[in-house]
């Protein structure tokens, strides 16, 4: 087992490039933990508060899954608050194995991975326009990051981490707001390229402006921008948010993969 990646690992992810887009990005960066055999297993953790990503092939054996169970218990005790993104077969094995050892693991989130080869213009007319963010918008962006992560309970970070992400996206002209006819910034969306894909994020609408189709129109335009730059737009969603997923599908997003997040039941 090695603590470095090479082209063998990137080839392993070719068939799972959507579901493991984030893993493909972070495993080439400085990580808190990285372990790979370059053939059947990749375990990677960029750092807290992010989940541990575990890739296995669809035909992972019980012996391989047992090895993963041992590694995560040695390195990422679920009782310490770690979460894990992985395929369903592996999740079911780990949940069953942990239960026999007296630990309750549960699925925290069911996730879908989508791409959008041909964005479809929304048929809902909305007021306003897209606004490309500048550093003058930084305080508002930090607020939106805070609101979104605390509302969803996912990837809560420090103010400094939010600022780093916002500044990176603004610098690269990849962060956008929807500005309504009164000049209010009501929704947000960003995208981050890696290889041939661009993952959309910070898709958030302020509560008082929801169900007005602002985010739908913003995501459509940001998806067009990503495509125009040569990237395939993609995104992750909570599979249980039926209305949101229907909105993405309406503007051309296609379901390409499924995975889940598991953690200890009492965290």
Q: Is the same domain home to 64 and 133?
A: no
Q: Domain residues for 55?
A: 7-112
Asked, for residue 256, whether it belongs to a domain, the answer is no
Q: Is the same domain home to 157 and 247?
A: yes
- pLDDT of 233-263, one tens digit each? 999 999 999 988 999 999 999 999 999 999 9
User: Rounded to an integer, what distance in angstroms lies between the CA atom of residue 169 and that of residue 80?
Assistant: 32
Q: Is the same domain home to 105 and 140?
A: no
Q: Is the same domain home to 167 and 247?
A: yes
Last residue of a domain, which of 59, 79, 112? 112
Q: Is the same domain home to 98 and 145?
A: no
Q: Are 222 and 233 in contact (CB under 8 A)?
A: yes
Q: Is the same domain home to 244 and 151?
A: yes
pLDDT > 90: percent of the chain:
84
Q: Is the pLDDT of residue 83 over 80?
A: yes
C-alpha of 55 from chain center: 15
Last residue of a domain, which of 86, 112, 138? 112
Asked, for residue 16, whether it belongs to a domain, the answer is yes
CA atoms lying within 13 Å on the CB side of residue 225: 21
Q: Is the same domain home to 151 and 90?
A: no
Taking residues 130-141, report their average pLDDT. Answer: 96
Q: Is the same domain home to 88 and 175?
A: no
Question: Helix, strand, or coil here: 5?
Answer: coil
Q: Residue 72 — pLDDT band, cuts 50, 70, 90?
A: very high
Q: Is the pLDDT of residue 39 over 80?
A: yes
Q: What CATH number does residue 160 fall under?
A: 3.40.630.30
Q: Is the pLDDT of residue 76 over 80?
A: yes
* Higher pLDDT among residues 81 and 70, named by residue: 70
- pLDDT of 149-159, one tens digit each? 888 766 666 77
Taking residues 128-147, report their average pLDDT. Answer: 95
Q: Is the same domain home to 138 and 231?
A: yes
Count of domains in the chain? 2
């Amino acid at each position: 087992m090695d603590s470095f990646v090479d082209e063998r690992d990137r080839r392993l992810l070719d068939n799972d490039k959507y579901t493991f887009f984030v893993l493909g990005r972070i495993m080439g960066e400085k990580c808190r933990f990285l372990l790979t055999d370059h053939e059947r297993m990749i375990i990677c953790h960029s750092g807290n508060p992010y989940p541990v990503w575990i890739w296995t092939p669809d035909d992972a054996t019980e012996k391989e899954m047992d090895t993963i169970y041992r590694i995560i218990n040695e390195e990422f005790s679920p009782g310490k608050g770690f979460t894990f993104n992985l395929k369903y077969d592996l999740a079911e094995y780990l949940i069953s194995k942990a239960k026999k050892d007296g630990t309750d693991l549960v699925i925290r989130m069911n996730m879908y991975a989508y791409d959008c080869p041909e964005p479809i213009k929304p048929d809902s007319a909305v007021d306003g326009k897209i606004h490309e963010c500048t550093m003058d918008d930084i305080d508002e962006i930090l607020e939106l990051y805070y609101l979104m992560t605390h509302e969803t309970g996912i990837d809560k970070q420090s103010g400094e981490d939010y600022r780093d992400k916002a500044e990176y996206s603004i610098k690269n002209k990849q962060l956008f707001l929807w500005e309504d006819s009164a000049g209010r910034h009501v929704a947000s969306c960003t995208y981050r390229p890696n290889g041939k894909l661009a993952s959309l994020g910070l898709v958030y609408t302020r509560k008082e402006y929801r169900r007005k189709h602002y985010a739908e129109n913003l995501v459509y335009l940001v998806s067009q921008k990503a495509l125009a730059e040569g990237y395939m737009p993609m995104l992750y969603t909570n599979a249980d948010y039926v209305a949101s997923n229907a909105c993405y599908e309406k503007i051309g997003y296609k379901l390409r993969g499924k995975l889940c997040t598991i953690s200890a039941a009492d965290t």
